[in-house]
Structure 1
Amino acid sequence: MTELLNDAQVAEALSRLPEWAQEGSTITRAVEFASFPQAIQAVNRIAEIAESENHHPDFDVRWRTLRFALSTHSEGGITAKDITMAEEIDGVVDALT
Protein backbone atom coordinates (compact mmCIF):
# COMPACT_ATOMS: atom_id res chain seq x y z
CA MET A 1 0.00 0.00 0.00
CA THR A 2 1.28 3.45 -0.97
CA GLU A 3 0.63 6.44 1.28
CA LEU A 4 -1.05 9.60 0.03
CA LEU A 5 1.15 12.67 -0.21
CA ASN A 6 -0.02 15.77 1.62
CA ASP A 7 -0.28 19.12 -0.20
CA ALA A 8 3.18 20.23 0.97
CA GLN A 9 4.76 17.00 -0.27
CA VAL A 10 3.00 17.33 -3.63
CA ALA A 11 4.12 20.97 -3.95
CA GLU A 12 7.71 20.01 -3.15
CA ALA A 13 7.67 17.20 -5.72
CA LEU A 14 6.12 19.45 -8.37
CA SER A 15 8.85 22.04 -7.79
CA ARG A 16 11.10 19.49 -9.54
CA LEU A 17 8.47 18.87 -12.26
CA PRO A 18 7.72 22.38 -13.56
CA GLU A 19 5.43 21.24 -16.40
CA TRP A 20 3.06 19.51 -13.96
CA ALA A 21 0.28 21.03 -11.85
CA GLN A 22 -1.95 19.75 -9.11
CA GLU A 23 -5.65 19.68 -9.93
CA GLY A 24 -7.50 18.39 -6.90
CA SER A 25 -6.45 14.79 -6.30
CA THR A 26 -4.46 14.49 -9.55
CA ILE A 27 -1.36 15.93 -11.16
CA THR A 28 -1.64 16.94 -14.81
CA ARG A 29 0.45 17.97 -17.77
CA ALA A 30 -0.36 18.83 -21.39
CA VAL A 31 2.13 18.48 -24.23
CA GLU A 32 1.81 19.56 -27.85
CA PHE A 33 3.76 17.34 -30.23
CA ALA A 34 4.82 18.13 -33.79
CA SER A 35 2.32 15.68 -35.25
CA PHE A 36 -0.47 13.27 -34.38
CA PRO A 37 1.74 10.19 -35.03
CA GLN A 38 4.37 11.58 -32.64
CA ALA A 39 1.70 12.02 -29.93
CA ILE A 40 0.57 8.42 -30.44
CA GLN A 41 4.20 7.27 -30.31
CA ALA A 42 4.43 8.92 -26.88
CA VAL A 43 1.23 7.18 -25.76
CA ASN A 44 2.63 3.82 -26.85
CA ARG A 45 5.96 4.30 -25.07
CA ILE A 46 4.30 5.52 -21.89
CA ALA A 47 1.78 2.66 -22.02
CA GLU A 48 4.66 0.16 -22.01
CA ILE A 49 6.25 1.83 -19.00
CA ALA A 50 2.90 2.07 -17.20
CA GLU A 51 2.16 -1.59 -17.82
CA SER A 52 5.55 -2.67 -16.47
CA GLU A 53 5.00 -0.56 -13.33
CA ASN A 54 1.30 -1.48 -13.01
CA HIS A 55 0.46 2.20 -12.66
CA HIS A 56 -1.53 3.69 -15.50
CA PRO A 57 -2.02 7.39 -16.34
CA ASP A 58 -5.16 8.80 -17.89
CA PHE A 59 -4.52 10.01 -21.43
CA ASP A 60 -6.54 12.55 -23.39
CA VAL A 61 -5.48 12.81 -27.03
CA ARG A 62 -6.62 15.84 -29.01
CA TRP A 63 -4.92 15.78 -32.41
CA ARG A 64 -1.30 16.44 -31.44
CA THR A 65 -1.93 17.57 -27.88
CA LEU A 66 -1.67 14.95 -25.16
CA ARG A 67 -2.96 15.58 -21.66
CA PHE A 68 -1.82 13.33 -18.83
CA ALA A 69 -3.56 12.96 -15.47
CA LEU A 70 -2.05 10.92 -12.66
CA SER A 71 -3.67 9.73 -9.45
CA THR A 72 -3.41 6.53 -7.47
CA HIS A 73 -7.05 5.53 -7.68
CA SER A 74 -6.74 2.74 -5.11
CA GLU A 75 -5.51 5.30 -2.57
CA GLY A 76 -7.81 8.14 -3.60
CA GLY A 77 -5.18 10.71 -4.45
CA ILE A 78 -1.56 11.51 -5.25
CA THR A 79 1.20 9.15 -4.12
CA ALA A 80 4.90 8.69 -4.82
CA LYS A 81 3.87 6.35 -7.66
CA ASP A 82 2.35 9.34 -9.47
CA ILE A 83 5.48 11.42 -9.03
CA THR A 84 7.62 8.60 -10.39
CA MET A 85 5.30 8.13 -13.38
CA ALA A 86 5.40 11.90 -14.06
CA GLU A 87 9.20 11.70 -14.16
CA GLU A 88 8.96 8.76 -16.59
CA ILE A 89 6.51 10.68 -18.80
CA ASP A 90 8.84 13.69 -18.83
CA GLY A 91 11.66 11.44 -20.00
CA VAL A 92 9.59 10.13 -22.92
CA VAL A 93 8.43 13.63 -23.83
CA ASP A 94 11.99 14.98 -23.73
CA ALA A 95 13.17 12.14 -25.98
CA LEU A 96 10.45 12.79 -28.57
CA THR A 97 10.41 16.60 -28.69
Structure 2
Amino acid sequence: MKKLTEEEIYKKLESLQGWEFDNNAIHTSFEFEDFKEAFSAMVRIAFEAEVQQHHPDWTNVYNQVEISLSTHDAGGVTEKDFKLAESIESIINAGE
Protein backbone atom coordinates (compact mmCIF):
# COMPACT_ATOMS: atom_id res chain seq x y z
CA MET A 1 0.00 0.00 0.00
CA LYS A 2 1.35 3.41 -1.04
CA LYS A 3 1.93 6.07 1.61
CA LEU A 4 -0.13 9.19 0.88
CA THR A 5 1.45 12.62 0.54
CA GLU A 6 0.57 15.31 3.08
CA GLU A 7 -1.43 17.09 0.38
CA GLU A 8 -3.46 13.93 -0.30
CA ILE A 9 -4.00 13.40 3.44
CA TYR A 10 -5.25 16.94 4.05
CA LYS A 11 -7.57 16.71 1.04
CA LYS A 12 -9.08 13.45 2.36
CA LEU A 13 -9.42 14.89 5.87
CA GLU A 14 -11.83 17.51 4.52
CA SER A 15 -14.52 14.80 4.48
CA LEU A 16 -13.73 13.48 7.99
CA GLN A 17 -14.91 15.95 10.61
CA GLY A 18 -12.94 15.79 13.85
CA TRP A 19 -9.91 13.98 12.40
CA GLU A 20 -6.47 15.58 12.13
CA PHE A 21 -3.06 14.67 10.77
CA ASP A 22 -0.09 14.75 13.13
CA ASN A 23 3.04 12.69 13.74
CA ASN A 24 2.60 10.53 10.62
CA ALA A 25 -0.94 9.38 11.56
CA ILE A 26 -4.54 10.54 11.51
CA HIS A 27 -6.17 11.01 14.90
CA THR A 28 -9.55 11.59 16.49
CA SER A 29 -11.24 11.25 19.86
CA PHE A 30 -14.76 10.51 20.99
CA GLU A 31 -16.58 11.21 24.24
CA PHE A 32 -19.38 8.90 25.28
CA GLU A 33 -22.00 8.97 28.03
CA ASP A 34 -20.07 6.52 30.21
CA PHE A 35 -17.50 3.71 30.17
CA LYS A 36 -20.01 1.11 28.99
CA GLU A 37 -20.89 3.16 25.91
CA ALA A 38 -17.21 3.84 25.14
CA PHE A 39 -16.29 0.18 25.48
CA SER A 40 -19.27 -0.91 23.41
CA ALA A 41 -18.15 1.36 20.56
CA MET A 42 -14.62 -0.02 20.85
CA VAL A 43 -15.93 -3.57 20.52
CA ARG A 44 -17.88 -2.67 17.38
CA ILE A 45 -14.79 -0.94 15.94
CA ALA A 46 -12.63 -3.94 16.87
CA PHE A 47 -14.82 -6.32 14.87
CA GLU A 48 -14.64 -4.03 11.83
CA ALA A 49 -10.87 -3.60 12.21
CA GLU A 50 -10.51 -7.37 12.23
CA VAL A 51 -12.55 -7.66 9.02
CA GLN A 52 -10.32 -5.03 7.38
CA GLN A 53 -7.16 -6.55 8.88
CA HIS A 54 -6.12 -3.06 9.92
CA HIS A 55 -5.99 -2.21 13.61
CA PRO A 56 -6.01 1.16 15.35
CA ASP A 57 -3.69 2.45 18.01
CA TRP A 58 -6.12 3.58 20.68
CA THR A 59 -6.62 4.41 24.32
CA ASN A 60 -9.64 4.49 26.55
CA VAL A 61 -10.08 6.34 29.82
CA TYR A 62 -13.58 6.10 31.27
CA ASN A 63 -15.81 7.70 28.59
CA GLN A 64 -13.03 8.92 26.28
CA VAL A 65 -11.62 6.98 23.31
CA GLU A 66 -8.64 8.31 21.37
CA ILE A 67 -7.78 6.70 18.04
CA SER A 68 -4.71 6.96 15.81
CA LEU A 69 -4.44 5.33 12.41
CA SER A 70 -1.26 4.74 10.43
CA THR A 71 -0.13 1.93 8.17
CA HIS A 72 3.06 0.79 9.84
CA ASP A 73 4.19 -1.33 6.86
CA ALA A 74 4.02 1.76 4.62
CA GLY A 75 5.55 4.11 7.17
CA GLY A 76 2.62 6.51 7.23
CA VAL A 77 -0.98 7.14 6.26
CA THR A 78 -2.51 5.14 3.39
CA GLU A 79 -5.92 4.50 1.88
CA LYS A 80 -6.34 1.69 4.46
CA ASP A 81 -6.35 4.28 7.24
CA PHE A 82 -9.02 6.37 5.57
CA LYS A 83 -11.15 3.30 4.86
CA LEU A 84 -11.03 2.34 8.54
CA ALA A 85 -11.62 5.95 9.64
CA GLU A 86 -14.75 6.09 7.48
CA SER A 87 -15.92 2.80 8.97
CA ILE A 88 -15.30 4.12 12.48
CA GLU A 89 -17.37 7.21 11.71
CA SER A 90 -20.21 5.01 10.42
CA ILE A 91 -20.09 2.86 13.55
CA ILE A 92 -20.12 5.87 15.87
CA ASN A 93 -22.89 7.64 13.94
CA ALA A 94 -25.03 4.48 13.89
CA GLY A 95 -24.80 4.31 17.68
CA GLU A 96 -26.11 7.83 18.22
Alignment of structure 1 residues 1-80 onto 2, 5 Å? 2-80=1-79
Q: List structure 1 runs of 4+ shifted beyond 6 angstroms.
A: none
Q: Give CA deviations for 1:32-67 in whole Å, capped at 9, x if unaligned.
A: 001110100111001000001100011100110000
Q: Report the TM-score, using the length of structure 2 for normalisation.
A: 0.97
Q: Give CA deviations for 1:50-90 in whole Å, capped at 9, x if unaligned.
A: 00110001110011000000000111100000001000011
Task: Letter of the 1:38 partner, please give it.
Answer: E
Task: Letter of the 2:74 partner, please give it.
Answer: E
Sequence identity percentage: 33
Task: Letter of the 1:17 partner, please give it.
Answer: L
- Give distance in 2, aligned partners of 1:77 and 1:26: 6
Alignment of structure 1 residues 83-94 onto 2, 5 Å? 83-94=82-93
List runs of 5+ in structure 1 lacking aligned partners.
none
- Give distance in 2, aligned partners of 1:65 and 1:95: 18
List runs of 5+ in structure 2 lacking aligned partners.
none
- Give distance in 1, aligned partners of 2:95 and 2:32: 8
Task: Letter of the 1:7 partner, please give it.
Answer: E
Q: Report the TM-score, using the length of structure 1 for normalisation.
A: 0.96
- Give distance in 2, aligned partners of 1:42 and 1:58: 15
- Give distance in 2, aligned partners of 1:88 and 1:6: 22
